Amino acid sequence: MTRNAKQRKTRDDLLSAAGTLLREVGYGGLSTRKVAETAGVPLSQIHYHFGSMQGLLLALLEVENDRLLDRQTAMYESDRPLSEKWVMACRYLHDDLESGYVRVLHEMMYAALSDVEIRHRIQQQLDGWKDLLTSVAQQAIDRYGPIGPFTAGELGILVGQSFLGLETLLLLDAVKASEDGYNAICKIGGLIAEMERRAGDG
């Protein structure tokens, strides 16, 4: 293994360990020592590679969010009907919840409440999600005409914040609420399918 490869491995191990711990013990339960121990690397490597605990978390945030946003973007760029894309998005939600990614991202959002640098990053990434969902909504409006009184931006965000809120419910294991929440979101896919059928291109 070359020097650079080894260096990168240590870096990745630290990022991976931070993600694992974030899922297991949450943001408040994180510590440099636990991360280093979980990664199986010396404590000092955290400061060497990321400068500080915050630096590590910022890097982790970027890695995790890019992963999700890229996948979602690719999915929406495929040329399936929108209703199928919606079903895929619902399935992604389910998968990401099981894998722990949702937990990681939400932990970072809470970290953002008390850390301006993390907040700025989160804001940029939320902008990315808004742009994606808005463009999807715009395509739907272009094809099927206006949807209620909403602009594409409003529609995109309405969808986004519904998913966001549902994620919160699911993370909290609010069973009574989250079941209906997931069903409601899924049924919206049915509404989209109906819209496609009326336009004759389902």
Partner DNA sequence: TTCATTTTCGGTCGGTCGACCGAATTAAAT
Partner DNA sequence: ATTTAATTCGGTCGACCGACCGAAAATGAA
Binder of residue 128, out of a copy of itself, DNA, none (CB less than 5 to 8 A by kind): none
Single-letter amino acid code for the residue at 185 = I
Which residue, 46 or 155, is less far from a copy of itself as judged by CB? 155
Alpha-carbon distance of 125 to 146, in angstroms, equals: 27
Nearer to DNA, 27 or 129 (CB): 27
Q: Please report how close the Cβ of residue 24 comes to DNA at its closest, in angstroms.
A: 13
What is the CB neighbour count within 10 angstroms for residue 146? Answer: 10
Nearer to DNA, 41 or 104 (CB): 41
CA distances in angstroms from 60 to 16, 141, 177, 181, listed in the order given: 8, 36, 30, 29
Q: How far is the CB of 100 from DNA (least distance, A)?
A: 20
Q: Which does 175 bind (CB under 5 to 8 A by kind): a copy of itself, DNA, none?
A: a copy of itself
DSSP state letter for 80: S
Place of tokens 């049924």: 187
Which CB, 45 or 134, lies closer to a copy of itself?
134
First and final CA of the chain: distance in angstroms? 53
Binding partner at 164 among DNA, a copy of itself, none, C-beta below 5 to 8 Å by kind: a copy of itself
Residue (16 or 168) nearer to DNA, CB: 16
Residue with tokens 């915050």: 54
Q: Answer with the entry of DNA, a copy of itself, none that 169 interacts with (C-beta below 5 to 8 A by kind).
A: a copy of itself
103 binds, among a copy of itself, DNA, none (CB under 5 to 8 A by kind): a copy of itself
The residues of the shown chain that bind a copy of itself, judged by CB under 8 A, are 25-29, 103, 106-107, 109-114, 119, 122-123, 126-127, 129-130, 148-151, 153-158, 160-166, 168-169, 171-178, 180-181, 183-185, 187, 190-191
Residue 74: name the closest of 66, 104, 140 by CA.
66
Whether the Cβ atoms of residue 127 and residue 133 lie closer than 8 Å to each other: no
- Residue pair 27/110 in contact (Cβ under 8 Å)? The answer is yes
List residues binding DNA (CB under 7 A).
2-4, 6-7, 10, 30-34, 41-45, 47-49, 52-54
Contact in structure between 102 and 170 (CB atoms under 8 Å)? yes
